[in-house]
Amino acid sequence: MVLGIPSVTALTRILSTTAFKLAAIYLTSFTALSVFLFIFISQNTDDLMNKQVVQTVDAEIQGLAEQYAQNGINGLVVGVERRVRSPNSNLYLILDYSGNVITGNIAYLPEKVLSVSDGRIQFVSYTPLGFVETDQNKAKAIVRIFELPGNFKLLVGRDLEDQVHLKSLLGDALTLWLVGMVVLAGITWFFLNRRILKRIDNLSMSSRLIMEGDLAGRLDVTGNGDEFDRLASNLNVMLDRIEELMKGLKEVSDNIAHDLKTPLTRMRGRVEAALRQDLSENEGRECLEETLVETDELINTFNALLRIARVEAGSTGAELQSIKLGNIVKDVCELYEPVAEDDGVEFSVSLEDEPVIEGDRELLAQALANLIENALKYGRPTEENVKPTIKVVLSGNDEQAILSIEDNGAGIAAADRERVCNRFVRLDSSRHAPGSGLGLSLIKAVVTLHHGELQLTSAGTADDSESDKQSGLRARIVLPLNKGQRGEGEGNEAWDKARKKNATS
């Protein structure tokens, strides 16, 4: 019993594999279908051939009946003898009133068959003329037996050897087919077990290593382009994203530790100085107010970090609905026009299109407000005699909505445009103004949530080909239109077909 345990375990593993189950289902299904088709074809073939045999027998009976009507029993005997001498599958037998054979090509027929002489169709076993009566020499036939005047009996029938042979061929074909199914099922099991399940095991092993902490590990892609390659590719993209988020988390932690240390140290120093000195009531109030301002700035920084994390994780509860982007632009710009005017900034808004997108109104308004605030704070011209300007332009094409915010300030060098969207990144030219370096990070997260793209280019050229000559910054939010406006709905397709048909007619 102990020696048999490994074999039993191996057999159990084989029987429990998906490959064996699929092969068994495949074999069972095709076997059942094959048997059904065999029975269906066999029965219908038998019915068709039996009808043809009966028609042949009836034609022979009609011919013999005419001879009997013209020449009596003697003419009938002559006609049967002439037909017997012709080699074919037809059967004939004439018996006298005593049951003696007058003529025919049947050596033996059971008595109970001869007793039924009303002309009905009978399926019988008989022994052909010239053969000994044995089970091996028996054959199948369809016959009709008629009783004639004078107690004579006439049998007319046809041998069914062709049908029996056809059934035998169908049976052999079914056997070969079933054997082929078994072989094919075995090949299928071998292929699934050796190829597909092996790849699944490799994926499981790689996944286990990744779960153990090896975030740099990736699933193998063979390059065949099959389902497993597509699955592995998608999982690798997901792992890249997870690794990127983990790196981002580490960077955020480092940035928080670095960038928040200075204001916290400054607050601690101010409080310690206040404790060491004998401050008046006004001086103490002023110290508390300054501390409160820096505390609010820290709280705002943490709120911004939390909001960015929620947007990136998609846990803001945002519901993407069909909205007109132009309405958001109008509402936000109306709020900032007085602010720009007070700061001496020339503020202009141009709505060249009315795109409809799938988005969250609050998040998009927050992103646009952040871009306008950045333009107001950092988009000041370097020349003193140049008036600062901010241009907000909403346009679009057949596939996208494009929201552009442009200023005539110092701009951002091409080498810094990707880095400036990271958390807590502040360029040297912007450190004179208050801020936390989280505005563009939040904007990028909102745009990514809407399946869009944030583009930072130079405002001086249309294609950003002269990025070294800074003449302002152009921030573009590119968002996809909803399906209806892109013309992907069923109504649009029907209308396009109608227009094409009308154009060709």
The overall average pLDDT reported for the chain is 80
Are residues 451 and 482 in contact, defined by beta-carbon separation less than 8 angstroms?
no
In DSSP terms, which residues pair with 357 in a beta bridge?
A: 323, 481
pLDDT at position 109 over 90: no
Which helix (H) or strand (E) element contains residue 275? helix 261-276
CB hemisphere CA count around 150 (13 angstroms): 8
CB 406 within 8 A of CB 476: no
Tell me which range, 201-205, 234-238, 289-293, 394-398, is most confidently predicted by mean pLDDT: 394-398
pLDDT of residue 287: 82
* Per-residue pLDDT at 485 exceeds 70: no
Residues 324, 401 contacting (CB under 8 angstroms): no
- Total H helices, total E strands in the chain: 13, 13
Residue 465 has pLDDT above 80, yes or no: no
CA distance 316 to 308: 10
Residue 412 has pLDDT above 80, yes or no: yes
Q: Give the separation between CA 213 and CA 99, rounded to whole angstroms.
A: 99
Please state, in angstroms and rounded to a whole number, the distance separating the CA atoms of residues 153 and 100. 10
- The average pLDDT across 216-242 equals 79
**Which helix (H) or strand (E) is 292 found in, with range?**
helix 281-313
Domain ranges of the chain: 1-210, 318-505
Q: Please count the other Cβ atoms lying within 10 Å of the Cβ belonging to residue 287.
A: 16
CA distance 274 to 261: 20
Q: Which of 196-210, 314-328, 400-414 has the lowest mean pLDDT?
A: 196-210
pTM of the complete model beyond 0.95: no
CA distance 476 to 439: 15
Measured on CA atoms in the order 351, 355, 356, 361, is the torsion positive or negative? negative
| Rounded Cα–Cα distance for residues 455 and 404 (Å) | 9
Question: What CA–CA distance (Å, rounded) separates 374 from 407?
Answer: 10
CA 215/CA 240 separation, integer angstroms: 9
- % of the chain at pLDDT higher than 90: 12
User: Taking the CA atoms of the chain, what radius of gyration do you get in angstroms?
Assistant: 48
DSSP string, 451-475: T-EEEEEETT-SS---TTS---EEE
Sign of the dihedral defined by the CA atoms of residues 292, 293, 297, 303, in that order:
positive
Check residue 316 and give its pLDDT. 65
The CATH code for residues 318-505 is 3.30.565.10
Least Cα distance to 325 among 354, 348, 352, 366 occurs for: 354
**What amino acid occupies position 291?**
T
